[in-house]
Amino acid sequence: MKEMDKNNKSFEDIKHIDENGVEFWFARELMSILQYSNWQNFEKIIDKAKVSCQNSDISVFEHFIDVSKTIKMPKGAQKAILDYKLTRYACYLIAQNGDSRKKVIALAQTYFAVQTRKQEINEKEYSMLTEDEKRFYQRDLTRKGNYSLNQTARKAGVKNFDKFHNSGYKGLYNGETADDIARRKGLRYREDILDNMGSEELAANLFRITQTESSLKRDKVDTEKKACDTHNKIGKIVRKAIKEAGRNYARRFAYTTKEFKAIRKGK
pLDDT, tens only, 141-191: 888 889 999 999 999 999 999 999 999 999 999 999 999 999 999 998 878
Residue 255: partners with Cβ closer than 8 Å, 6 or more residues away: 261, 264
Q: Give the burial class of 30: count Cβ atoms within 10 A of its Cβ; 0-12 exposed, 13-18 middle, 19 or more buried.
A: buried
pLDDT-derived band at 263 (thresholds 50, 70, 90) equals very low
CB atoms under 10 Å from CB of 61, counted, come to 9
Higher pLDDT pick, 79 / 180: 180
Which of 95-109, 125-139, 158-172, 206-220 has the least mean pLDDT?
A: 125-139
pLDDT per residue over 179-230, tens digit each?
Answer: 999 999 999 887 889 989 988 899 899 999 998 998 899 899 999 999 999 9
Question: What distance in Å separates the CA atoms of residue 107 and residue 4, rounded to the nearest whole number?
Answer: 6
Average pLDDT (16-29) is 86
